[in-house]
Amino acid sequence: MQCKTGPFVKWAGGKKQLLDRLEAHMPATYGRYYEPFIGGGALLLHLQPERAVINDTNEQLLNVYRQLKTDAEAVIAAVNALDAKPCDVDRYMETRQAYNAKIQAHELDAECAALMIWINKHCFNGLYRVNSKGLFNVPYNNKQGGVSIDATNLRNIGLYLRTKDVAIHQGDFEAACADVQPGDFIYFDSPYVPVSETANFTDYTKDGFTLEDHKRLATLYKRLSEQGVKVMLSNNNVPLVHELYSGFTIKEVNVRRAINRDASKRSGKEVIITNY
């Protein structure tokens, strides 16, 4: 029996609000499920496919998935220990410093996963942003206390990842698709093409995601289509996206943008693009 699961972090471009529309646009049948930009994993955790390959460039994000797969109870205990003390700006900065020390040392363990989850709940607007050295630099959100996790959700995520055939990879999106076969399904939820020059939120990893990367992704989309792979992609509803994916089925959908600093700009349009 499938246990209900959902994202363990707030993530820029998260797909929780689009789940029903994404599911409606999926193919009726497919082989293995691929998600090369896993992020918060809303669609994966909603569908819980039997066979999946997930990928991201964010080492810390992937560490959470791996730690939950290995020992969700250790992550839960570590987050609960962090939640046991009230938070103020000094404690937030101290904890952020401890997290960055883990990042620098590449200490990918349950404590590091717990720090990421806790900080995501206490940083400004749930943003994940790093500087040129790869260190997390988002300020405090003035949240004094509260519970940072749904323990049952983390247990269920761990159970799904352990009991199904789910491979967790870190690297470039093209490499993540290297062994895809005809009839498999890929969902691309890449960093978005900015709506404006000032909305360039691509700092989820220190390398960012460039215009050339978007062009490379569109080229891959076309190549996979020619190979008989079923592909779905979501992005902002902007002219460049329509240009890059001309010839495929493009559906416009209304969305809310919870992470925008300007409340008047927290609505917009996205597109869901399919090749079937």
CATH code, domain carrying 130: 1.10.1020.10
Q: Is residue 32 part of a domain?
A: yes
Q: What is the pLDDT along the chain (276 residues), one digit of tens a residue?
A: 678 999 999 887 778 889 999 999 999 999 999 999 999 999 999 999 999 999 999 999 999 999 999 999 999 999 999 999 999 999 999 999 999 999 999 999 999 999 999 999 999 988 899 998 999 999 999 877 789 999 999 999 999 999 999 999 999 999 999 999 999 999 999 988 877 654 554 444 455 788 889 999 999 999 999 999 999 999 999 999 999 999 999 999 998 765 555 555 556 899 999 999
Domain termination residue (choose one: 104, 122, 151): 151
As a whole number of angstroms, the distance between CA 173 and CA 22 comes to: 20
52 and 175 inside one domain: yes
244 and 217 inside one domain: yes
141 and 179 inside one domain: no
Q: Is residue 1 part of a domain?
A: no
Range of the domain at 213: 16-57+171-274
73 and 50 inside one domain: no
As a whole number of angstroms, the distance between CA 157 and CA 40 comes to: 12
As a whole number of angstroms, the distance between CA 15 and CA 19 comes to: 6
* Whether this model's pTM surpasses 0.75: yes
Q: Is residue 162 part of a domain?
A: no
Q: Is residue 145 part of a domain?
A: yes
How high is the pLDDT of residue 193? 85
Query: What is the SS3 string spanning the chain?
Result: CCCCCCCCCCCCCCCHHHHHHHHHCCCCCCCCEEECCCCCCHHHHHHCCCEEEEEECCHHHHHHHHHHHHHHHHHHHHHHHHHCCCCCHHHHHHHHHHHHHHHHHCCCCHHHHHHHHHHHHHEHHHCCCECCCCCECCCECCCCCCCCCCHHHHHHHHHHHHHCEEEEEECCHHHHCCCCCCCCEEEECCCCCCCCCCCCCCCCCCCCCCHHHHHHHHHHHHHHHHCCCEEEEEEECCHHHHHHCCCCEEEEEEEECCCCCCHHHCEEEEEEEECC
53 and 76 inside one domain: no
**How far apart, in Å, do the first and last CA atoms of the chain sit?**
30
Count of domains forming the chain: 2
CATH code, domain carrying 215: 3.40.50.150
How high is the pLDDT of residue 201? 45
Q: Is residue 166 part of a domain?
A: no
